Structure 1
Amino acid sequence: MLTLIRGAELHGPAPLGQGDILIGGGRILAMAPRLSPGDLGCPLREVDGHGLLAVPGLVDSLVHTSGGGGEGGFASRMRPLEAEQALRAGVTSLIGALGTDDSTRSHADLLACGRALAAHGLSAYALTGSYHVPVRTITGSIRDDLVLIPDIIGVGEIAIADHRGAQPSAHELARIAAASRVGGMLAGKSGTVLIHVGDGRDGLELLRRACAEHEVRPAQFLPTHCNRSRRLFDEARDWIARGGTIDLTSSTTPAMLAAGEVPAAEALLELLADPACADRVTLSSDGQASLPHFDEAGRLLGIETARVDSLLATLRAARQQGAALEPVLAAATRTPARIWGLARKGRIAVGADADLLLLEPESLALRMAVAGGQCWRIEAGAARALD
C-alpha cells in the first residue's frame, strides 16, 4: 500500500514549504505541493497532514537497546528497549551499544534486540565493543565485525575518564580508531568510535593525545556525555575547534543537574550560537542506560533509567528557549546521520528512507511516526498501527 501525507509543512530539516509526500516500499517516492497518484491503480492510504510539521525521524546516536546498568548488582540491570518506547519518542533510527556490562550482556543479544525493533519498521544499528579495552567483539576483531556484520557500523562505547572503564592509553585508543577506520572503509561504513566520557579529571586528554601522537583524525571519534559538567563542556568546544564532533546527552537526573551538569537544551543553544559548531554537535538519549549516582568514595547512592523520550523533550525545550527549528532538528537528524554514514536517514527527500514525524507546530507534540514506511498514530500515550 502507498501512503500519501497531504498538506504538511515540510522540514527536511531545512524548511521546504507546504506539500504532499508519497511513501511506498519504505522510501519517499515523491514530494510536491500537490500530488495526484490515484491513477496508479495501487491501494492508497491518505493521511491528513494539514496544520502539522513533517520532519525527519530522530536519529539517536546512543541507545542501550538490550538494556544497560548493573552497577548496583543484578537487580539493577535495565530492561531492553521496546519498539513502542522508541516510536512514542519519535526515534526511528538508533545506534545500540553495550556499556559497563559486557559479562552478562552480549553483542549477540544486542543484535537480536535490534532486529526485534526492525520488525516494527525501526532502523536499529549496533556498535562492537563496550566500556572496556581490549575490545570485545563477535568475530575476534573490530575490522571483521565491521566488514562481515551488516548491523555493526562502529565501535563503542569505549570509556575514558571513568572509574568503570579499563583506563586505556592514548596508543590503545589510536589502534581502536585505526581498526575501525579500515573496517569501515572496506565495508562502506563510517567506522565512528563512540567514546563514553566520565567525570574524571582527564576529560578529553586521551583523545587529544591519540590524535597528536598518531595518524588519527579527531572526526574518527564521537565523545558523548559532553554536557555532564561545565569543565567537560568547555573542553568539548575546544575539541570541535580541533576538527572533532561531540554528542550531548539528553537524559539526566536531579542529582546530576545539582552536581553541575549543563542541561542538554542549554548546551545545544550555546553551541548553535557559534556557526562553527552548528553541524558538529549531536544529541542522543542514552536510552535504557543506568544513570548511577556515586559519592566521593565511589559508593553507589542511587540509580535511575535513562529515557529515550528525553531526546524529543530536549528539542522542545530548545525551541521554547527561542532556538530556530532547523538547527535544533539537525542535531538529532541530519548531523548524526552524516557522522554515522547513514545516507538515507535524517532528511526528508525523494529516495530517502520513509522515516518521518508529524508534529504540532508550537508544542512539537508527536501525532504520528513513520518508521520504514510503517505508520504509527501516537495518541493517549501509545503507538497504534495505522489501518
Structure 2
Amino acid sequence: MITIIKNGEVYAPEYIGKKDIIIAGGKIEAIVENITIPQNFAPVKVINAEGKLVFPGFIDAHVHIIGGGGEGGFKTRTPEIQLSDIVVGGITTVVGCLGTDGVCRDLKALLAKSRALEEEGISTYIYSGSYAIPVNTITSSCKSDIMLIDKIIGIGEVAISDHRSSQPTYEEFIKVVADARVGGLLSGKAGVVNVHLGYGERRLQYLVRMIKETEIPIKQVIPTHINRSTSLFEAGIEFAKLGGIIDITTSSDPDHLEKDEVKASTALKIALERGIPVEQIQFTSDGQGSLPIFNKKREFIGLGIGSTKSLYIEVRDAVIKDGVDLEVALKVITSNVATNLKLYNKGLVQESKDADLVIVNKSDLTIQTVFAKGVEMVSDGKVLVKGTFEK
C-alpha cells in the first residue's frame, strides 16, 4: 500500500514548507506540493497532517537495549527495553551498547536483541565492547567486529574518568580508538568510539592528548554524558571548540546527591550561545541504563533508570522553554547523528531515504504519529505495533 502524508509542514530537519510525502516500499518515494490522487488508483492510505509538523524519525545512539546496571547488586539489573518504549518517543533507529556489566551482559545477547527489534520494525545497530579495556568482542578483535558484523558500527561505551572504569592507561585507550578507526575505514562504517565520562578529575584529558599526539581525527571519539556536571560540561565546551563532537545525555536523576548536572535542553542552549556549531552536538538518552546514585564516598545509595522518551522531551524543552530554534534543535537527534554514524538513509526527510517520520501537533509539539520504514507504529499518540511479548 502507498501512504501519503498530506498538508504537513515539513522540517527535513530544515524547514521546507507545507508538502505532501509519498511513502512506498519503506522509502520516501516523493515530496511534492498538493498531490492529486487519481480515482481507481492503487490502494492508498492518506493521512491528513493539516496543522501538524513532520520531522525525520529520531536516532538514539546510546541505548542499553538488553538492560544495564547492577551497581547495587544483581537485583538492580535493569530489564530489556520493549519496542513500544522506543517508538512512543518518536525513535525509529537505536544503537545498542553494554555498560558497566560486561560479564553477565554480553555482545551476543546485545546482537540478538538488536536483530529482534529490527524484526519488530525499527532500525538497529550496536557498539562492540563495554566499559572495560581490553574490550569485549564477538570475533577476535574490535576491528574485525566492525568489519565482519553488519550491525556493529563502532566501539563503546568505553569508560574513562570514572571509579567504575577499568582505569585504562592512555596507551590502551588509544589502541582501541586506532583499531576502531581502521575497522571503520576498511568497512565503510563510522568506527567511532563512544566514550563514557564519569565524575573523575581527568575528564577529557585522554581525548585532548589524542588530538595533540596522534593523527587520529578528533571526531573518531564521541564523549557522552558531557552534561553530568558543570565542570565536565565546561571541559566539553572546550573540546568542542577544538572541533570535537559532544554527546549530551537526556536521561537524568534529579535526586542524585553528587551531581550538579546541566539539563540537556539548557546545555544545548548554552553550547550554541558559546559559539559551538550545532553540527557538533548530539543528544542520546542512555535509555534503559541504570542511573546509580553514589554518595561522596562512592558508596551506592540508590538507582534510577534511563528513559528513551527523554530524548525528544529534552528537544521539545529546548524549543519551548529555552528558545532554541526548532530546526536547529531537531538536528541533535536526526541529521547530526546520522552524519556522525554514517547512517546514510537516516536523519532526513528526503526522497529515497528510509520512511522514518514523526508527526507532531504544531501547537504544543506533542507526538501524534510515528512511521518506521514506512510502517505506522504510533497513531494519535497510541502505539499500534508492539513488541512480540508486550500485552
TM score, norm. by length of structure 1: 0.96
* Partners of 1:294 and 1:302 within 8 A in 2: yes
- Cα distance per residue 1:66-110 (max 9 Å; x no partner): 111111111111111111011101111111100101101011111
Confirm or deny that 1:329 pairs with 2:330: yes
The separation in 2 between residues aligned to 1:77 and 1:377, in whole angstroms, is 29
* Partners of 1:170 and 1:207 within 8 A in 2: no
* Partners of 1:38 and 1:44 within 8 A in 2: no
Change (3 A) 1:26 1:184: same
Confirm or deny that 1:217 pairs with 2:237: no
Residue aligning to 1:359:
360
* Partners of 1:88 and 1:378 within 8 A in 2: no
The separation in 2 between residues aligned to 1:38 and 1:147, in whole angstroms, is 48
Matched letter for residue 48 of structure 2: D
- Cα distance per residue 1:122-166 (max 9 Å; x no partner): 111000000000011000111111111000001000000001111
* Partners of 1:15 and 1:326 within 8 A in 2: yes
* Partners of 1:281 and 1:335 within 8 A in 2: yes
Matched letter for residue 218 of structure 1: I
Q: CA deviation at 1:210?
A: 2.4
Residue aligning to 2:82:
82
Q: CA deviation at 1:119?
A: 2.2
The separation in 2 between residues aligned to 1:293 and 1:385, in whole angstroms, is 34
Change (3 A) 1:254 1:243: same
Q: CA deviation at 1:309?
A: 0.3
The separation in 2 between residues aligned to 1:53 and 1:120, in whole angstroms, is 26
The separation in 2 between residues aligned to 1:270 and 1:108, in whole angstroms, is 39
Confirm or deny that 1:104 pairs with 2:68: no
The separation in 2 between residues aligned to 1:138 and 1:8, in whole angstroms, is 44
Matched letter for residue 350 of structure 1: E
The separation in 2 between residues aligned to 1:317 and 1:230, in whole angstroms, is 19
Q: CA deviation at 1:225?
A: 0.4
The separation in 1 between residues aligned to 2:122 and 2:40, in whole angstroms, is 28
Change (3 A) 1:325 1:296: same
TM score, norm. by length of structure 2: 0.95
Residue aligning to 2:125:
125
* Partners of 1:174 and 1:216 within 8 A in 2: no
- Cα distance per residue 1:192-224 (max 9 Å; x no partner): 110000011110011112232222221100000
Matched letter for residue 16 of structure 1: I
Q: Which moved more, 1:59-68 or 1:207-216?
A: 207-216
* Partners of 1:130 and 1:158 within 8 A in 2: yes
Residue aligning to 1:293:
293
Matched letter for residue 306 of structure 1: G
The separation in 2 between residues aligned to 1:206 and 1:41, in whole angstroms, is 60
Name the SS of the counterpart of 1:125 in structure 2: strand
* Partners of 2:318 and 2:329 within 8 A in 1: yes
Alignment length, in residue pairs? 385
Counting only pairs closer than 5 Å after superposition, residues 229-378 of structure 1 correspond to structure 2 as 229-256=229-256, 259-320=259-320, 321-378=322-379
Identity, in percent, stands at: 37
**How large is the Cα RMSD of the aligned pairs?**
1.6
- Cα distance per residue 1:283-331 (max 9 Å; x no partner): 0100000000111222100001101100111011111121110110001
The separation in 1 between residues aligned to 2:94 and 2:38, in whole angstroms, is 34
- Cα distance per residue 1:160-192 (max 9 Å; x no partner): 000111111222221111111111111110101
* Partners of 1:126 and 1:151 within 8 A in 2: yes
Residue aligning to 1:165:
165
Q: CA deviation at 1:277?
A: 2.5
The separation in 1 between residues aligned to 2:299 and 2:280, in whole angstroms, is 35
Name the SS of the counterpart of 2:279 in structure 1: coil
Residue aligning to 1:190:
190
Matched letter for residue 82 of structure 2: E
Q: Which moved more, 1:168-177 or 1:83-92?
A: 168-177
Q: Which moved more, 1:171-180 or 1:79-88?
A: 171-180
* Partners of 1:173 and 1:210 within 8 A in 2: no
Name the SS of the counterpart of 1:89 in structure 2: coil
Q: CA deviation at 1:265?
A: 0.6
Q: CA deviation at 1:340?
A: 0.5
Q: CA deviation at 1:378?
A: 3.9
The separation in 2 between residues aligned to 1:257 and 1:38, in whole angstroms, is 63
Change (3 A) 1:60 1:234: same
The separation in 2 between residues aligned to 1:312 and 1:256, in whole angstroms, is 22
* Partners of 2:257 and 2:293 within 8 A in 1: no
Residue aligning to 1:56:
56
